[in-house]
Structure 1
Amino acid sequence: MAEDGVGQLEADALKRRERLLALKRKREETSEGAEKSEDEIKQEEEGLPKPKFRSYRPQDEVLQDKVIPDAQPGDVEEEVKEQLEAAKNRGIIEELDLTTLAPRKPDWDLKRDVAHKLAKLERRTQRAIAELIRDRLREGQSDLAEAVAMVQPQQLDED
């Protein structure tokens, strides 16, 4: 069995060598005439057809109406002149107040991301304060102003 494998490998090597020699001959022939690219040589080896370049213009009449015309170059000199004139005009830059262009604080994105969570917590805090006031009123404190005044200092201590 091992001998069959070795014999097969040798036969494959001989075939490969013959193919390489044939390719070398083809390359030499083509170098004398018009030169071919490596892609063309590979396509010839594999027997693939040459690619056809298309205009990509639709044949259907309905689609021909929707074809976008090719872009035409504009008047470049006029565009350049307009841009140069705009660059010379310094009035706009002088009108701009640099104090209004303050950079953002480094944590602005964190504050933005946490803002909705803080709003939710604020609502919960307000509910909790209202509930504490109600509890104190139920316990016997009849004066609402006193109950509110007692809750506020406790809340400030917790913050």
Structure 2
Amino acid sequence: MEKPVGSLQEQALKRKERLKALRDRQLQVSVIMNVISLRGNAHEESQELKLRNYMPEDEELKERRVPKAKPASVEDKVKDQLEAANPEPVIEEVDLANLAPRKPDWDLKRDVAKKLEKLERRTQKAIAELIRERLKGSEEELAGAVGAVGVEEGDSD
């Protein structure tokens, strides 16, 4: 039993249509799965989809589109750079002591300065004490001299 050639061609065409329909269904299923996975990933921040250059047709994907970036103003950038380049006002007064090189023993003098202050106070106290003692001694001598002068004047009367 041989089948006519026309019926074989018809069967081949039917088979091709079934295969095409099967491929179309598989493609639709994969697209649906992608959309579902995109929606599922919308909740995950680590894999969030950001569309910068792509214009999607799906309404939910349009929400993910990143707005176009506006270029920064060139005038503002140049103005900021010019302000940053302006030098700070130079100090007009210059202390020559700060410019002069330090002597080799400056650090020793710095370390001994506190001790010298204490010694200076003690020295001033000692000098004041010596002056007071001399004044007391000179007052006694002066009192004695005044008393002696008074005695001599009293004798002459």
| TM-score relative to the length of structure 2 | 0.28
Which of structures 1 and 2 has the bigger CA Rg? 2
